[in-house]
Amino acid sequence: MTTLSRAISLALFAAACALPAHADSTSSAASSAGSASSASISDSIGSSSNSSSGDDRVAAGDYRVIDVAQAPARTDTTRMTLRATAAGPTREFYLDVPNRALAERRVNAGELVRVNERVYGYEFAYADDGRPFFLALQDAWYRELGSRKVAI
């Protein structure tokens, strides 16, 4: 075996060994996003009094946090009022987030939150580092995640 063949073989072997590590880090990132917290869209997102009407109140993009307060009649839940930074019709809505999702890092008025549209709903992330802190799931997806008793 020539030196070049040996070097190529070693490079391929090293690349093959690195693949499982990459998969672990991907699943770890997905796991941490899912463990951050989730709830159904209907329980988490509502119309602000200043918003445009209809379902167009939430779209992917950056939103400025206008207000942060305790959610009315919901213990251990924070309500954020978010306003889109993009030009166009005013998009403003409130987001109710369980406090456990914000335990590691709070969101304050004036900060930016990034909303990413996903097939399952919306991912809310810190705009400065892109780290997700909350998932608002379409109601059908959320129902599917519910635990059920299994008879054996």
Convert the pLDDT of each residue in 92-149 to its tens digit. 999 999 999 999 999 999 999 999 999 888 999 999 999 999 998 887 655 566 555 6
Kind of pairing between the strands at 132-137 and 121-126: antiparallel
d(CA 40, CA 140): 9
**pLDDT for the residue 88:** 81
| Position with higher pLDDT, 90 vs 101 | 101
**pLDDT for the residue 100:** 93
- Chain centre to alpha carbon of residue 67: 19
Cβ neighbour number for residue 48 with a 10 Å cutoff: 18
Kind of pairing between the strands at 38-40 and 132-137: parallel
- Residue at token pair 């709830």: 39
**The pair of three-digit structure tokens given for residue 92, joined into one six-digit string:** 């403003």
Largest Cα–Cα distance of the chain, in whole Å?
74
d(CA 48, CA 67): 11
Mean pLDDT of 46-58: 60
